[in-house]
Amino acid sequence: MSRLGVQALLWVYAALAFGPLVLVLIGSFRPNADILREPVGLPDSLNFDNYARAWETASLSTYFVNSLTITVASVALCVTVSAMAAYALSRWRFRGRALLAALFISGLMIPAKLGLLPVFYMFQSWGLIDNRIGLVLLYAASGIPFSVFVIMGFMRGMPDELEEAARLDGCDEGRMFVSVVLPVMRPALAVATVFQFAPTWNDFFYPLVLMRSDDKYTVPVGLTRFFGEYAADRATLFAGLVIALVPLAVVFALATKHIISGLTAGMSK
């Protein structure tokens, strides 16, 4: 296929992928009566009343704060543990290193939701049902295998000379990890962050099963109630969907320049 044909297909795909999002964004600024009368159209002005109604009246603020707290905490814990584990498995030589690395990577082959029943009983015995800390621990643990895999792949492409020079300057392992390794590891950390942030923010299953209180639900679960209450108020519904998409757009925008280099790191070896 010619280069022009490939570009045309990519533009068609982009239109199909982003077209509905653009319509939702435009609709979030239009009065509901205009949307019901004419579903596709441009707003007369930028009216933020729909956003205020979705944020305050529809309690989306509570769900948003819950999702943001749980997602940020779980991603931070997951990436921190994964970075330390990947560094040790890539650089240190000790008995059982290969077996331990295989144990981490084997987590990629097991769907996390298959372990829901034992996780539920374990959380019940620990008092973590209807507890945000339980979700943070669950999401962090489920994201570690992939994060370790990505960061280890990046570490294989890092020259050993950086660490050798740091040791000659008197750095211990902790200081070298923080001051030398982590700054170089930023592309891999960005990939791990994005690929952990997106599924955690969008997850509907675990909060529905493990949470009981309405004020502890996350955005995906809260939106289901939102859809039921505001099914006829499409303008408010569109505004709620845009609010739910903002964190994902921000994270992807900030991490885009690191994602490609992080994903392709280590392929030369």
DSSP string, 76-140: HHHHHHHHHHHHHHHH---TTHHHHHHHHHHGGGS-GGGGHHHHHHHHHHHT-TT-HHHHHHHHH
> b or e along 138-163 (b: 16 or more beta carbons within 10 Å of the residue's beta carbon)?
bbbbbbbbbbbbbbbbbbeebeeeeb
| Mean of all residue pLDDT scores within the chain | 84
Question: In percent, how much of the chain has pLDDT > 70?
Answer: 93
Asked whether 203 and 268 are in contact (CB, 8 A), the reply is no
d(C-alpha 94, C-alpha 97), whole Å: 6
Residue 140: pLDDT band (50, 70, 90) is very high
d(C-alpha 78, C-alpha 83), whole Å: 8
Residue 267 pLDDT > 70: no
Residue 230 pLDDT > 70: no
Residue in 189, 127, 195, 202 with CA at minimum distance from that of residue 153: 189
Would you state the structure tokens that stand for residue 254, as one six-digit string?
A: 């900030």
What's the whole-model pTM score?
0.85
pLDDT at 70: 96
Would you state the structure tokens that stand for residue 65, as one six-digit string?
A: 């704060």
Burial degree of 116 (CB within 10 A; 0-12, 13-18, 19+): middle
Residue 251: pLDDT band (50, 70, 90) is confident
Residue 263: pLDDT band (50, 70, 90) is low
pLDDT at 199: 92
Residue 268 pLDDT > 80: no
pLDDT at 181: 82
d(C-alpha 169, C-alpha 18), whole Å: 51
- CATH 1.10.3720.10 in the chain: give the residue spans: 60-264
User: What integer is the mean pLDDT of 68-91?
Assistant: 92
User: What integer is the mean pLDDT of 203-221?
Assistant: 90
pLDDT at 65: 93
- The highest-confidence range among 76-80, 211-215, 233-237, 264-268, by mean pLDDT, is 76-80
User: What integer is the mean pLDDT of 31-46?
Assistant: 81
Residue in 247, 249, 220, 240 with CA at minimum distance from that of residue 50: 240
SS3 191: helix
Residue in 201, 199, 217 with CA at minimum distance from that of residue 209: 217
Q: Which DSSP state fits 238?
A: H
Residue 260 pLDDT > 70: no
Residue 188 pLDDT > 70: yes
Which CATH code fits 60-264?
A: 1.10.3720.10
User: What integer is the mean pLDDT of 202-225?
Assistant: 89
pLDDT at 1: 59
Residue 207 pLDDT > 90: yes
Q: Which pLDDT tens digit goes with each residue over 59-68?
A: 788 999 999 9
Residue 149 pLDDT > 60: yes
138: CB partners within 8 A, 6+ apart: 74, 119, 123, 206, 210
Would you state the structure tokens that stand for residue 89, as one six-digit string?
A: 């498995």
d(C-alpha 176, C-alpha 146), whole Å: 24
Angle at 202 between CA 115 and CA 127, to 5 degrees: 45
**Start-end of H helices in the chain:** 3-27, 32-37, 49-52, 60-91, 97-106, 116-126, 132-156, 161-168, 173-176, 182-184, 186-202, 205-210, 219-229, 234-264
Residue 265 pLDDT > 60: no
- The highest-confidence range among 112-116, 143-147, 171-175, by mean pLDDT, is 143-147
